[in-house]
Structure 1
Amino acid sequence: MTSTPAGDSASQGAGPGEAGRGEAPPWDPASAGPPEKRRHDGWWAALAGVVATGAGLALAELLAAFVGPGSGPVVAVGGAVVDGVPGWLKDLAVSWFGTADKAVLLATMGVVSLAGAAFAGFLERRRPPWGAVLLGAVGVVAAIIAARRPGATVVWALPSLVGVVAAVVLLGALLRRVEVWFAEDERPGGDWREAVDRRRFLQWTGVTAAGAVLALGASRVVSAGGRVVAAARDAIRLPRPATAAAPLPTGVDFGAPATVPGLTPYVTPNPDFYRIDTALLLPQVDPGDWSLSVTGLVDQPFTLTWDELLALPLEEHYVTLTCVSNEVGGNLVGNARWLGYPVRELLARAGPQAGADMVLSRSTDGFTAGTPLEVLQDPGRASLLAVGMNGEPLPVEHGFPARLVVPGLYGYVSATKWVTELTVTTFAADQGYWTPRGWSARGPIKLSSRIDVPRPGADLPAGTVTLAGVAWAQHTGISRVQVRVDDGAWVEAQLAGTVGPDTWLQWRHDWDATPGDHTVAVRATDADGNVQVQAEAPPAPDGATGWQTIPVTIT
């Protein structure tokens, strides 16, 4: 049954004469057409919601390119999600997705946004103005979040507000085309008019979508910061270190990969080095604009520029870094040759005051880490304000132009990337980013070992099978690694060389394998005689423990 306004006799079969004017009454575009047709208009309304919302987001991103790189609604809301997740959920995400955690988060946000936009379009068609109200509410929330992000100003709310206004206006315009199209049964013209209005709706939709693509592309052109920083990085020629890294000993790699295919190399190439941080959008910091302030409970606060940093006597050290989210047997660990200036010298210049016991380092994106002051002042520990990684300037994803590298501590309490501030303070007065989210305040790295070859579940021929992997006890060193097959005795593995206790080392053992299903386990002992903890524990709140055990099949 056709739905018509009350008192419209023409809709009840009355002729022109009965209407009293000799012509059909005016057509009401609010009519939705017959029920069987009305069932389909919701899909097109949902499409209108997706296109209008996408165009609004694209416009917001274009405006954010002028306001600030983190002011766009996607990055702002995504950053708030990262900040708001509890420690156990962050650990779960990293264990499931590893270094792809941010891509998964953005993809999830995209799916949710797509579904929400479609629902808003459908709702606006069925129950106006609630679809527009829904879009407006989401936009206002995004604006508030953006304005409250670290380093933000009230202007950061502007992209989200402008974007949502544009989305609401475009949604209304597109839905008016849907109304005209699906009300054809109420007006003269028949199928021909319906085809015309369907084509107009699709044209409007296509133009809006094309405009969104152009706006998004323009935002990338305007956001030239990444290209500027990349060009600045390429132009840098790092100075020769005043103190060069110790030469790598013979046999540090067991001849890998030729001798032991699959064994992790002693030095991790930059592209393979793990990346775990809270930045959805990589900070683009021009070294010409960068500076480091050393402040807080100090006698002589000061600011250091990029040129001043490079003019200092830099040192080079091999240091292994580990993420606290690393599971037993995980790959969130890597070893590199770092170039930088000792943090203890920066602190000595500032003169920490009595009672201070922590340094709160701050990133340009607002991340903070609380590091024990005594660790950074330790003359026997190569804690660096690093500018180089494996012979080149730091990659942007690893903290260019400067970051902290601290042996022996998990990254969440020490390895601040894009660092711009060191505040000497106390653990009683301040907390790093992850501590109020359930992680421990100090984060010393735990003794650990890993099996690289064979891979878990491998099917291998009987005979000599090489077992190999890496072990680490940063700033303490490894004294032995042992392996065990099934419930047999622990046997000594051969250890490769290392430059010192601040890096991992490789181990290997040639096993005379017999047919059957077996389990292989590994454990390490540090230079102080401590044996790796057998009891299994998850990464939260202060690092995983347990012996890695893998199944293998020998045929």
Structure 2
Amino acid sequence: MNQADQSPAPGRGSTDVKHGYDPVGLGYDVGRGGNESEPGRTGTRGWRDAVWWRAAVGGVLAALAGLAAGSVVAGLLGTRQTPIVAIGSAFIDRVPPWLKDLAIAWFGTNDKTALRVGILLVLSALAAVGGVLAVRRYWAGALITVVLAGVAVVAAATRPDSGQTGFVPSAVAGITALLILRLFARRLAPLVDDPADGVSRRGFLQLSAGVAIASAAIGALGRVVGGNRAAVAEAREALNLPKPPTLDPPAGVQADGATPWVTPNVDFYRIDTALSVPQILPSEWKLRIHGMVDRELELTFDDLLKRQVVHKWVTLTCVSNEVGGDLIGNALWSGVLLKDLLGEAGPSGDADAIKSTSKDGFTAGTPLSTLLDDRQSMLAFAMNGEPLPVEHGFPVRIVVPGLYGYVSATKWLTDIEVTRFDRFDAYWTPRGWSELGPIKLSSRIDVPYGTKVTAGPVTVAGVAWDQHVGVSKVEVRVDGGPWQQATLAADASIDTWRQWHWTWDAPRGNHVLQVRAFDAKGNPQVEASAPPAPNGSTGLHSVNVPVD
């Protein structure tokens, strides 16, 4: 056998210092000695001059920059669903019991910390691989980032407490990581062909330092923004509030697909002016009642809990709700009557309004009479048997049956001033909305809607509402024909919506269904169409139904 036959294969013990094995396919030689200045060789500087470790560092820094950006966005949006939390929560939800027990046995109360560390280690390892791949083939490294971000987005979006924006922090984290990864890939590309390129080395060091410093600063900002959010979430979960009695939904047929009687908290509409949800600890919450009163009051959260608590079904409606819209929801609210609190303060006989102020600066003007009558307007601290969700006003908000939210439903409440309407403008009044906002009688068809049905008996169902007045009758008509009376569910309260249903013998063809409701006094809802501004929409809800 000649000398060539005796030579080992490349990378398997080769003694050729000029042509070492390239383990990651970056296209450069990794020698173990020789002239340091010779292009294509790293010489005695060894791993310090290799491109792969720099690429790995770049991948990790890109991932950390993404996580930092995601944490800030989560804090601004008032969601707990940072990428790490989203993935960790999804893991906890799906881990088998034996593994969960094992983690507790190993780590005790630090099991969640161990999980976070584990997620960060796995993420860092994958990000490092992505950084190495991105130098030669950016799409390959980017694919790893996209997959990781996609997992976090799906994990966040499927959480029961995610809300409508829970996925956004993970999406922002992924986009940020992709952009930073691209910068590192471009900066390191010249070193593949010339590892001795001093300009590229300096550029890499400058970029690395810049990304590291920026990530640390952004991460610190995220902790400042989100730290209070986490504390508020923990305080909310730790509250022991009075439990409401078991209040069954009213009797009545619930058609498949129709609106349920109770709107779950996670599905309840949210309309407010808060770009970032205020975070208020119950222990720090205070309410001042002042203005045209005999005696000012200042209440803490504990003060509220010492008072008599009422539980009441109330349907809330947003003034922005279009005819047939879904900006409406029904919940069991628990709290303290405003009538009692205002009675202690002693409103002046000249006062006709309260100006309520939110932590975020929003103000609402509410007729004083609606807080002193028998409708049981309240300072609510619980919703459907749970502490108020943070996005719905935790720890305390106002609930006034019969009024649109823009004149009554102040969330994150901090101040009530007893005053007169002619002495102030509430938030929405100078923006073109009416000073007073009583809810208007309306009705909606929920099924059938947006789907074909088969000829024959078809259930038509929906809801009707006229809070603090009540609904006495609902009628449906087909193609402009005679009105047919629907069957109403039992009336739980004049302050809630009423479900209704009607059986239609549907013929083939395309048809238009319309619904109208009558209030407790026998008055029909207004048929003339009007937009939500300035004081609520009117008109009849119509749906097109194709019948096969």
Q: Structure 1 length normalisation: TM-score?
A: 0.64
Could you tell me how far apart the structure 1 residues matched to 2:219 and 2:259 are? Answer: 40
Distance in 2 separating the partners of 1:530 and 1:206? 71
Residue 204 of structure 1, CA deviation: 2.9
**Aligned match of 2:331:** 336
Offset at 1:270?
Answer: 1.1
Contact 1:323–1:412 (CA under 8 A) maintained in structure 2: yes
Which residue in 2 is equivalent to 1:236? Answer: 239
* Residues 363 and 418, structure 1, Cα contact 8 Å, conserved in 2: yes
Q: 2:296 aligns with which of 301, 318, 342?
A: 301
Note if contact 1:300-1:350 (Cα within 8 Å) is conserved in structure 2.
yes
Contact 1:399 1:418 in 2 (8 A): yes
Q: 1:204 aligns with which of 197, 203, 206?
A: 206
Name the amino acid aligned to 1:319.
Answer: V
Aligned equivalents of 1:273, 1:193: Cα separation in 2: 59
Cα-to-partner distance string for 1:360-413 (whole Å, 9 max, x where unaligned): 0111111111000111111x2120101111111111111111110000000011
Correspondences of 1:491-510 after superposition (within 5 Å) = 491-510=484-503
Note the C-alpha offset of 1:484.
Answer: 0.9
Q: 1:211 to 1:318 in 2, by over 3 A?
A: same
Cα pair distance change 1:211/1:462, threshold 3 Å: farther
Q: Which amino acid aligns with 1:394?
A: L
In the other structure, the counterpart of 1:227 is 230
Which piece of structure 1 moves more, 403-412 or 263-272? 263-272
Pairing of 1:41-120 with structure 2 (within 5 A): none
Equivalent residue of 1:309, what SS? helix
Q: TM-score, normalised by structure 2?
A: 0.65
Equivalents in 1 of 2:427, 2:458: separation in Å? Answer: 45
Paired position in structure 2 for 1:550: 543
Q: Take 2:452 and 2:77, find their aligned partners in 1: how far apart are those partners?
A: 50
Instruction: Pick the aligned partner of 1:398 from 375, 389, 392.
Output: 392
- The offset of 1:501, in angstroms, is 0.3
CA contact (8 A) 1:367 1:433 kept: yes
Deviations 1:212-240 (A, max 9, x none): 33433333334321121111111111125
Q: How many residues align?
A: 397
Inter-partner Cα distance in structure 2 for 1:394 and 1:215? 33
Cα drift, residue 455 of structure 1: 1.5
Query: Which residue pairs with 1:86 in the alignment?
Result: none
**Alpha-carbon distance in 2 for matches of 1:313, 1:352:** 21
Output the CA distance in 2 between the equivalents of 1:194 and 1:261: 71
TM-superposed CA distance for 1:487, in Å, is 2.0
Query: 2:339, 2:376 within 8 Å by CA — same for their partners in 1?
Result: no
1:116-169 CA distance string (max 9 Å, x none): xx9xxxxxxxxxxxxxxxxxxxxxxxxxxxxxxxxxxxxxxxxxxxxxxxxxxx
CA shift in 2, pair 1:346/1:196, >3 Å: same
Counting only pairs closer than 5 Å after superposition, residues 123-162 of structure 1 correspond to structure 2 as none
Label 1:400 to 1:493 Cα distance change in 2 as closer, same or farther (>3 A): same
Q: How far off is 1:103 after superposition?
A: 5.7
- Equivalent in the alignment of 2:352: 357
Alpha-carbon distance in structure 1 between the residues aligned to 2:250 and 2:469: 21
Cα RMSD, aligned residues only: 3.9
Query: What is residue 468 of structure 1 aligned with on the other side?
Result: 461
In structure 1, list runs of 5 or more residues that go unmatched.
1-50, 71-99, 119-173, 185-190
Q: Which residue of 2 aligns with 1:410?
A: 404
Q: Secondary structure at the match of 1:334?
A: strand
Deviation track 1:231-280 (CA, whole Å, cap 9, x = no partner) reads: 11111111256xx68x436524x2x4xxx221111111111111111112
2:516 is aligned with 1:518? no
Q: What is the DSSP-based 3-state SS (H/G/I as helix, E as strand, rest coil) of the residue aligned with 2:398?
A: strand
- 1:282-321 aligned at under 5 Å gives the runs 282-321=277-316
Partners of 1:249 and 1:498 within 8 A in 2: no
Instruction: Give 2:476's match in structure 1, choosing from 474, 483, 488.
Output: 483
- 1:251 is aligned to 251
Contact 2:352–2:421 at 8 Å: present in 1 too?
yes
Give CA deviations for 1:280-314 in whole Å, capped at 9, x if unaligned: 21111111111111001111011011111100011
| Residue 420 (1) aligns with residue 423 (2) | no
Closer, same or farther in 2 for the Cα pair 1:441/1:345, shift >3 Å? same
**1:389 aligns with one of 383, 390, 393:** 383
Question: Using a 3 Å threshold, how does the CA distance of structure 1 residues 348 and 364 change in structure 2: closer, same or farther?
Answer: same
Give the match for residue 530 of structure 2. Answer: 537
Task: Give the equivalent residue in structure 1 for 2:46.
Answer: none
Q: Compute the displacement of 1:205 (Å).
A: 3.1
Question: Cα distance 1:206–1:538, how it changes in 2: closer, same or farther (>3 A)?
Answer: farther
Secondary structure of the residue aligned to 2:284 is coil
How far residue 199 of structure 1 moved from its aligned partner, in angstroms, is: 5.1
User: Aligned AA for 1:333?
Assistant: I
Q: 1:317 to 1:200 in 2, by over 3 A?
A: same
Deviates more, 1:368-377 or 1:195-204: 195-204
Paired letter, 1:346: L
Structure 1 distance, partners of 2:457, 2:503, is 6
Change beyond 3 A, Cα 1:310–1:353? same
Separation in structure 1 between the aligned mates of residue 468 and residue 462 of structure 2, nearest angstrom = 19
Alignment partners' CA distance in 2, 1:307 and 1:103: 32
SS in 2 for 1:461: coil
Contact 1:248 1:498 in 2 (8 A): no
SS at match of 1:224: helix
CA distance, structure 2, for counterparts of residue 303 and residue 405 of structure 1: 19
Specify whether residues 431 and 196 from structure 1 end up closer, same or farther in structure 2 by C-alpha distance, changes over 3 A only. Answer: same
Unaligned runs of 5+ in 2: 1-60, 79-161
State the shift of 1:540 in Å.
1.1
Q: Which amino acid aligns with 1:295?
A: H
Where 1:460 maps in the other structure, the secondary structure is: coil
2-structure distance, mates of 1:497, 1:208 = 66
Amino acid of the structure 2 residue aligned with 1:459? K
Contact 2:381 2:396 in 1 (8 A): yes
CA–CA distance in 2 between the matches of 1:218 and 1:418? 26
> For residues 249 and 262 of structure 1, what CA distance do their matches in structure 2 show?
17
